Chains A and B, each alone.
Chain A
Amino acid sequence: MRPELIKEVTYVPYSGNMAAAEAMRQINPDVVAAYPITPQTELMQFFADFVANGLVDSEYIPVESEHSAMSACVGAAAAGSRAMTATAGPGLAYMWEVLGIASGMRLPIVMTVVNRALSAPINIHGDQSDMMGARDQGWIMLFSENAEEQYDNLIQAIRIAEDERTRLPVMVGMDGFVISHAIERVRLLPDRAVEEFVGELKPMYPLLDVDNPVTHGAVAMTDSYMEFKRQQREAMTNAYKVIKEVGEAFEEAFGRKYEHIETYKTEDADYILVITGSAAGTAKYVVDKLREEKSIKAGLIKIRTFRPFPYNDVMDAIEASNCKAIGIFDRAETFGGASGPLFEEVATTQYLRRKYYPMTGFIYGLGGRDTNVNHIEEAIDKLMRLAAGEEIPLVNYLNLKE
């Protein structure tokens, strides 16, 4: 029996990587396979310490690449075990092929992605190009604003992934360095409470059930491939409901609310910002500052669930506000697209309700570029001009050297 380390709710000074590793220790997965890559390296180092010190029962496989890390997780999950991993930026890119195998085989693998820019030029810092690049590989995608959310989201992700209605892998992103390497206050839950919340994995069609042999990862040609994909859409639709339910269960057990989106002062807002990740925290500060200093009513919609995208939640929040203009913040590019990937989702949201709000996109924070209070103020200023009828381009860069 592994030792119980945290017996009551404890507040600790943790980085995002420490918080994610602690969640993995408490989840105690059967198999963890990983390959080190900045800024995720530290996370796996912490977890390797837990393994070496007998604090988890996990089989830890330090593989030779991210492609292998995900492949090992696929094998382990297909065998009927609970498998986890973590990666970042180019590591996620190298995993890309196997990401689709994990989701296509409906394996409930949970992974932290420490969001990092993609090469070239080489850059180790935070942006969300990695996860946006993996958007269509069939994974449920959650984003965390801070270290505590990464911890809470990972714990919830186990239940979301393993629910019989979903059986899909989940990736949980946190911004590289600004969250992964910064120390802040994190609330840790007791070991036993986490154990109880995540419960036991119920294997479905495990390879190791030799009395009931099954085939995994079979060939599916023109006669059956599409039906598999159709079922994945169904599972992703179900995930919307499951994520919501697990969030409610988490709130009931631990008192912290998790929904698909978090709204911050949107009810009476004239200008709405839509942001995912750590910049949402900075935006909350700016929203308060502008209300206090200039009586400008801005509000924020923070996207926690990116896949399945919560179209209704976003539109409900916009329609319930006084929205005159929307600013979408993208920490990733989609070169040749109208604006960033999040912009496209929010545009679709409006189409689905037959609505039209003036909207513009802000590309920010690529390769870890600082997005500070003044940059978000600048964005809100542009939104005010947009609302007043001025023509504003669909792509605006924040803190760009020009």
Chain B
Amino acid sequence: MIEIRWHARGGQGAVTASKILASAVIREGKYAQSNPDYGAERSGAPLRAYNRVSEKPITLHCMVLNPDIVVVVDPTLLKAVPFLEGTDENAILVINTDKTPQEVREKYGIKGRKIYTVDATKIAMEELKRPLMNVPMLGALVKVLNGLVDIKTVEEDIKKAFGKKISENALAANVRALYRAYEEVQSE
């Protein structure tokens, strides 16, 4: 079982991204959960969302305290929230930043852990023309999950989730953002 914690701000679509991931995993015949950490919802306020992904049934119905993977959707949260909380040195970090993994490691004094970075804000601004980093971060995460879920299944779930709500052009831009981050995510 892999446990994932998302850090984002209200309105950035992290809860939706976490739902899309769970949905894709389940549709591939595996098991997954997506649990938002509902508080008083305010646009711009830091929030957390969780995923569990497994080949076997998952019976846990509690918060993820010791995530294997931490996804930071908004780079300003690196200074604002304890994003390493509950992680050990084997944890994987997937961070939206214009910096390299080495630069992030030095800047925040991170020991151990595997750091991946992707400039999801740039991808979002170029493809979606808006700072919606959830889909590119999902693309980066899928790459990090290393075959656990097929990017094509995730693409289908994005179309399912957004299909009726946004224009064909916006949908195509989301799909491009997904694949760009999937390709552009870098590790040390």
Chain A 233-268 per-residue mask, 1 if CB under 8 angstroms from chain B, else 0: 000000000000000000000000000000000000
Bound CA–CA A175/B29 (angstroms): 25
Within the complex, which residue of A12, A13, A146, A183 is in contact with B61, where a contact is CB–CB below 8 Å?
Answer: A146
The minimal Cβ–Cβ distance linking A193 to chain B, given in whole angstroms, is 21
Knowing A177-B38, A178-B35 are in contact, say whether A279-B61 is a contact too (CB < 8 A). yes
Contact between A281 and B38, CB atoms less than 8 A apart: no
Bound CA–CA A157/B162 (angstroms): 35
Bound CA–CA A146/B23 (angstroms): 17
Number of A-B contacts (CB under 8 A): 73
Interface residues in A172-203 by Cβ distance below 8 A to B read: 175, 177-179, 181-185
Knowing A182-B35, A183-B32, A183-B34 are in contact, say whether A278-B27 is a contact too (CB < 8 A). no
Knowing A175-B61, A178-B61 are in contact, say whether A183-B38 is a contact too (CB < 8 A). no
A285 at the interface (CB under 8 A from B): yes
Contact between B59 and A284, CB atoms less than 8 A apart: yes
Knowing A13-B22, A282-B60, A370-B62 are in contact, say whether A184-B33 is a contact too (CB < 8 A). yes
A371 at the interface (CB under 8 A from B): yes
Interface residues in B29-74 by Cβ distance below 8 A to A read: 29, 31-36, 38, 57-63, 65
- Which residues of the partner chain B approach A184 to less than 8 Å between Cβ atoms? 22, 26, 31-34, 58
Contact between A181 and B32, CB atoms less than 8 A apart: no
Contact between A181 and B38, CB atoms less than 8 A apart: yes
Bound CA–CA A81/B150 (angstroms): 47
B19 at the interface (CB under 8 A from A): yes
Bound CA–CA A373/B59 (angstroms): 11
A205 at the interface (CB under 8 A from B): no
Residue from the set A125, A145, A181, A183 with the largest chain B CB neighbour count within 10 Å: A183
Residues of B in contact with A, size category: 20 to 34
Give the residue name and chain of the B residue nearest to A283 (CB): B59
A372 at the interface (CB under 8 A from B): yes
The minimal Cβ–Cβ distance linking A395 to chain B, given in whole angstroms, is 22
Within the complex, which residue of B19, B22, B29, B62 is in contact with A11, where a contact is CB–CB below 8 Å?
Answer: B29
Give the residue name and chain of the A residue nearest to B33 (CB): A184
The minimal Cβ–Cβ distance linking B126 to chain A, given in whole angstroms, is 30
Within the complex, which residue of B29, B34, B60 is in contact with A281, where a contact is CB–CB below 8 Å?
Answer: B60
- Which residues of the partner chain A approach B57 to less than 8 Å between Cβ atoms? 185
Bound CA–CA A175/B62 (angstroms): 11
Give the residue name and chain of the B residue nearest to A178 (CB): B61
Contact between A183 and B19, CB atoms less than 8 A apart: yes
Within the complex, which residue of A12, A285, A370 is in contact with B26, where a contact is CB–CB below 8 Å?
Answer: A12
The minimal Cβ–Cβ distance linking A70 to chain B, given in whole angstroms, is 27
> Nearest 7 CB-CB pairs, A to B?
A281-B59, A278-B61, A13-B23, A183-B34, A13-B26, A182-B35, A372-B62
Known interface pairs A182-B36, A184-B33, A285-B59; 10 further A-B residue pairs with C-beta atoms within 8 A, sorted by A's residue number: A11-B27, A13-B34, A124-B38, A175-B61, A181-B36, A185-B57, A281-B59, A282-B61, A370-B62, A372-B63
Interface residues of B (CB under 8 A from A): 19, 22-23, 26-27, 29, 31-36, 38, 57-63, 65
CB<8 Å pairs between A and B, sample of 26 = A11-B26, A11-B27, A13-B22, A13-B23, A125-B38, A145-B61, A146-B61, A178-B62, A181-B36, A183-B23, A183-B26, A183-B35, A184-B26, A184-B34, A185-B26, A185-B57, A281-B59, A282-B59, A282-B62, A285-B59, A285-B60, A370-B62, A370-B63, A371-B62, A373-B60, A374-B65
